[in-house]
Amino acid sequence: MGKSSKDKRDAYYRLAKEQGWRARSAFKLLQLDEEFDLFSNVSRVVDLCAAPGSWSQVLSRVLIKGEKFGRSAWQDRDAKVRQQMLGVFPEAFTPEQRESIEKDTSSPGHDDAQSGAEATAAASRDVKIVSIDLQPISPLAGITTLRADITHPATVPLLLSALDPSYDPATAVGTQAQHPVDLVLSDGAPDVTGLHDLDIYVQSQLLFAALNLALCVLKPGGKFVAKIFRGRNVDILYAQLKIFFEKVVVAKPRSSRASSVEAFIVCLNFRPPAGFHASLEEPLGVGQRLDRLAREREMQLPIVAEATMQSSGRGTWDCSVASAPATTREGGITEVEVYDETNGNDKENGARWIAPFIACGDLSAFDSDASYKLPEDYVSLDPVQPPIAPPYKRALEIRAGLSKPPR
C-alpha cells in the first residue's frame, strides 16, 4: 500500500522506476538540458554530491551510450516519420520541404544505416565523467567514481588524475591541462531541519564548496549547474556568481515540486576575473576575498559621468552611474545600467542582482505536486538502485536483529 500510495502522489517517482532511473531527479537534469542544451560540445563532466547516481546515470546514457531523451528524441522520431512519408508520398511535399527533410535526415544521428555500435562509439569518444560523493555510489558504465570530500584540497588532484591518468601536479600547475572540465554539476543538498533560514544558509555553503571546486577545474567558457534554495537574500548569491560567469539564470524544472524552495542556478560561459587563481586552500566565502574580487571587477568597468534622468509628470530622478557598466551599440548609442536605491539595488557597487527565472520542461507534462489515479492492475516496482550505505542503515540492522543497539 505504501509504494502504491507514493506512486499516486509522485508521478515522476513512478516514471523513474518504470524508465530505469535511479532517482526522480534524473528528470530535472534532462529538463535543464532541454532548456539550456547543457550537453552540447561537452566531453569532460564532473558530478558533485552524486549519490545515488541519477545525474551520473543521465550523463552515462546521453554522452557515452548516445541515447536521446525529451525534445531531441522527439525531433529524431519526427525526422524519421517525415523521411518515410517522403518515400511514400513524394508529391505531397514541395521542393523546399523535400530539401529540408533530406538535410535533417542526412546527419549521422538520423542515418538509419549507422549501426548502434557505431553510434555508441561516436558518442563516447573522448568522454570522461567523474562522480564525487562522500557516500559510495553503485558502478555505472563509463563513470569514474571518487569517494572524497569536495571541500578538501587533495580532491582536485584526485579529480584531475581521474580525468587524465597521465596528469602530473608538478608539471601541470598554471597550465591549461589543469582546467579540463566543460561542465560541473551539483545536485547536493543538506538534510533539512525545517528551519528555512538555517537550511538556506547551509545550502549556500554547500553551493560555495561546489563552486570553489568548479573554479579550480572549469575551462573558460565552461558551465556550472547547482541546486539552490531560494530565500530572502538569494539575489546576493546571484551577484557573486555573476562575477565568474557571463550568464546566470535560475531554472525551475517541471519535475521539481512547486511547493519546494528548490531551484537550480545555471551559470554559462565561465570567465574568471583577470589574475584570478582558484584554490581550495583559500576558498571563496572565507574572509574578504570575494569582496576584493568584486571591487576589482568593478574597477575594470568604463567610467561614465553622472546623469540626471527625468520622468515627465513625476519630477526628476537623480542617480549616480559613475561606476555603472556601459555598453556601446551601433550608431554610437551607449546603454548604461543604473542602480535604483528605491528598488533595493546598491547604487555604489551594484552588489545585488536579480537573475532571470525560467520554468523549464514540458508544461503540459505531469504535475509533480498532483496525485494521479493508477490502473487497477498496476504493480508498484522496486527502486532501480537501493542505497548502498544509507544513514539509516544501522537502524534497519537493529530492527532486523543483525546488530545490537548502542548502550
Active-site residues: which are they?
A: 227
3-class SS of residue 365: coil
Burial of 337 (0-12, 13-18, 19+ CB in 10 A): middle
Q: Which long-range CB contacts under 8 A does 61-65 form with residues at least 24 apart?
A: 62/33, 63/39, 63/123, 63/124, 63/127, 63/129, 64/120, 64/123, 64/124, 64/127, 64/129, 64/141, 64/142, 65/120, 65/123, 65/124, 65/141, 65/142
133 carries a ligand binding annotation: yes
Q: Give the C-alpha separation, 1 to 13, whole Å.
A: 15
353 carries a ligand binding annotation: no
**Residues 224 and 32: beta-carbon distance below 8 Å:** no
Q: Give the C-alpha separation, 262 to 253, whole Å.
A: 10
Sign of the C-alpha dihedral computed for residues 252, 249, 30 and 217 taken in this order? negative
**Residues 211 and 224: beta-carbon distance below 8 Å:** yes
**How far, in Å, are 23, 231, 369 from residue 262 at the CA level?**
16, 10, 13
21 carries a ligand binding annotation: no
* Residues counted in the chain: 407
Q: Which residues is 263 bridged to in the sheet?
A: 228
Give Cα 127 distance to the centre of its chain. Answer: 18
Q: Which residues is 265 bridged to in the sheet?
A: 226, 250
Q: Give the C-alpha separation, 125 to 128, whole Å.
A: 9
| Residue closest to 266 by CA, chosen among 284, 283, 252 | 252
**Residues 47 and 59: beta-carbon distance below 8 Å:** yes
CB atoms within 10 A of CB 50: 27
DSSP 230-253: --TTHHHHHHHHHTTEEEEEEEEE
| Residue closest to 166 by CA, chosen among 222, 138, 128 | 128
Which residues are annotated as part of the binding site? Answer: 53, 55, 133, 149, 187
Which residues are annotated as part of the binding site for S-adenosyl-L-methionine? Answer: 53, 55, 133, 149, 187
